[in-house]
Structure 1
Amino acid sequence: MPLELTANPLLSERTTLRLGGPAVVEAVVRETADLDELSAFLTRETLPPFVLGAGSNLLAGDGPLELALVHIADCPGPERVERDGEAIIIRCGAGLRLPGLLGWAQKAGFSGLEGMTGIPGTVGGAVAMNAGSYGVEIGDLVTRIRVWSPAGGLVWLDRSQCAFDYRHFSPVKMPGKCLVWEVELALGESDPKSVRRAMHGVYEKKKKTQPVTAWTAGCVFKNPPEESAGRLLDKAGMKGVRLGHMAFSDIHANFLVNLGGGNAADALELMDMGRARVFEQFGITLEPEVIVL
């Protein structure tokens, strides 16, 4: 079956911030057989490719975007693979939504992911950004990752062949960019009710401190060493600051919120404003955590 292609896919329909104009094309990969077609597509396509998960960490521009989107769908798993000492090794495809993985782990009585409750992205996106929350980073749980590149095909990488930093993942000694295809994680065993209680506790805390039901892209800026970007933005007076239909959340200053009908130009101006105020008052340069397209 030919690779599924969509012309002029709207980023506003594919991102949690609900912003972004049309890319040129989107290629949807559903199974390993599609990867050969994807390789041919990327060879003949002159546009830069961008792998798009659930769009939960993106701020896309308002106008046309000269990009070829690559989206993984209908991925396998999750499934239990084996026991390694006291750990249970589970495997899932990169296109699986994190809430789906957490729900499956809870019902199975597997612990370790509870701190990531409320993160709306995909497993692949979480690995690519080394997503973390409430003391948990997904890189700490990874045992193996299966990645794909046009030159190297599908390859399993052990944890020792992966470099995880703050909101960043890269394969060690592997040239060029790659696509995360499958992930194996080491989880603990627990009572399903205990896991559910822990997940509920995390979600309740997030509801009180983060705009979990709003249109956002997650945290806008990375936390500086030994500091909190949200605290700095709050002290700089950015909490609740609005421009057009975009605003810094009045719950957490490090979240940009689309109030409905917002645009990327106003979002970027608010980011510049927040960065400038923090630098003026504290001498700290905030680095974006959100990916700007």
Structure 2
Amino acid sequence: MALEILPGPALASRTTLRLGGPALAEVVLETPEDAEALAGTLEKLGGAPLVLGGGSNLLARDGELPLVLVRPRLAAEPVILRQRHGQQVRVRVGAGVKLQRLVAWLATQGLAGLAGLIGVPGTVGGAVAGNAGSYGDATGDRLARVRLWTPEGGLVWVGRDDLDIGYRRFAPRGVTGLFLVLEAEFDCAVREPIAIRQDMIAHLKKKRASQPITAATAGCVFKNPPGEAAWRMLAEAGFAGKRLGNMAFSELHANFLVNLGGGTSDAALDLIGTAQGAVRELCGHELELEVKVVP
């Protein structure tokens, strides 16, 4: 089975923060079964594999990167499975489908549970792998099972009981290395479509007023400490609008790092480190990264 391989893709063109130098190659999967040839392909290409969805939670370094990008472009549209659990309906969708496509489709079907994710970029696979959440909804709260690939186990469906899911955390139990999310199934509650759409409109209006959702960002830089809001601590430390070169923390939401155009990863990392130190000194909290720095 021959996989599509693209030479030298730039991470700056693959990530929403628009940072990152060229990787060694990019391997594209069109179907779950393509993953069966992945182990051999990665071995031939060398470099460390980096699974890439929509690139919305990554801060990639500049310069040549010893990485091989793995992109599951699995675009199987969402479908309702004939499995009903009380007032819940199970939906299956491919990992390469845009998260916003799924959120909008669920609303038209009168299926609730992920409406809070309106406006969150990226793919379904990336959202599952990061347990994306917003306005009280998270992928992990509705996730029933996932179809995974690992080099050791190959293709397998894994149920919720065998997944470690928490705040911005997702991992199949017993797997410590590479894994790919290929398909996901969600259990969604039945609700009137108009009520779901009204919630989505309200959420999106609030996001547009409080987050730089049209800017080049990677989403939230830091996780929220228990009982605290990272953006509030950053603002109190004077980092709302704080700029270094062409990288800056947003004035709208101090936990969003923005590439103003021509920014560099060095500037981004320096700004992040300075912010962590300032918050530690002011509030006594050690801010933990939510964005993933690669490599």
TM (norm. structure 2) is 0.96
Q: Deviations over 1:272-292 (max 9, x none)?
A: 111010011111111110000
Check the 8 A contact 2:74/2:182 in 1, yes or no: no
Per-residue deviation, 1:92: 0.5
Map 1:27-176 → 2, pairs under 5 A: 27-81=27-81, 82-176=83-177
After alignment, is 97-106 or 188-197 more displaced? 188-197
Q: Deviations over 1:195-222 (max 9, x none)?
A: 1111111001111111111110000001
Check the 8 A contact 2:165/2:171 in 1, yes or no: yes
Tell me the amino acid that sits aligned with residue 290 of structure 2.
E
Other-structure match for 2:12: 12
Equivalent position SS for 2:147: strand
Equivalent position SS for 2:164: strand
Task: Go from structure 1 to structure 2 and tell me whether the alpha carbon gap of 1:175 and 1:255 turns closer, same or farther (over 3 Å shift).
Answer: closer
- Mapped partners of 2:37, 2:140: distance in 1: 30
Check the 8 A contact 2:128/2:140 in 1, yes or no: yes
Per-residue deviation, 1:42: 2.1
Q: Deviations over 1:168-194 (max 9, x none)?
A: 111123453311111110111122222
- Mapped partners of 2:225, 2:130: distance in 1: 16
Q: Deviations over 1:135-157 (max 9, x none)?
A: 11211101111111122111111
Q: Deviations over 1:234-282 (max 9, x none)?
A: 0000000111111000001000011111111111111011101001111
Other-structure match for 2:236: 235
Aligned alpha-carbon RMSD (Å): 1.2
Between Structure 1 and Structure 2, how many residues are aligned?
293
Equivalent position SS for 2:203: helix
Tell me the amino acid that sits aligned with residue 215 of structure 1.
A
After alignment, is 160-169 or 29-38 more displaced? 29-38
- Mapped partners of 1:208, 1:267: distance in 2: 24
Map 1:210-289 → 2, pairs under 5 A: 210-289=211-290
Per-residue deviation, 1:32: 2.7
- Give the gaps of 5 or more residues in structure 2: none
**Percent identity among equivalent residues?**
48
Other-structure match for 2:293: 292
Equivalent position SS for 2:157: strand
Task: Go from structure 1 to structure 2 and tell me whether the alpha carbon gap of 1:175 and 1:12 turns closer, same or farther (over 3 Å shift).
Answer: closer
After alignment, is 44-53 or 246-255 more displaced? 44-53
After alignment, is 175-184 or 258-267 more displaced? 175-184
Per-residue deviation, 1:132: 0.7
- Mapped partners of 2:94, 2:23: distance in 1: 25
Q: Deviations over 1:95-137 (max 9, x none)?
A: 1110010111111111111111111011111111111111112
- Mapped partners of 1:52, 1:175: distance in 2: 18
Check the 8 A contact 2:151/2:178 in 1, yes or no: no
Tell me the amino acid that sits aligned with residue 159 of structure 1.
R
Equivalent position SS for 1:33: helix
Per-residue deviation, 1:78: 0.5
Check the 8 A contact 2:36/2:155 in 1, yes or no: no
Equivalent position SS for 2:266: helix
Equivalent position SS for 2:238: coil
- Mapped partners of 1:54, 1:163: distance in 2: 23
- Mapped partners of 1:127, 1:102: distance in 2: 13
- Mapped partners of 1:36, 1:157: distance in 2: 17
After alignment, is 268-277 or 191-200 more displaced? 191-200
- Mapped partners of 2:115, 2:108: distance in 1: 12
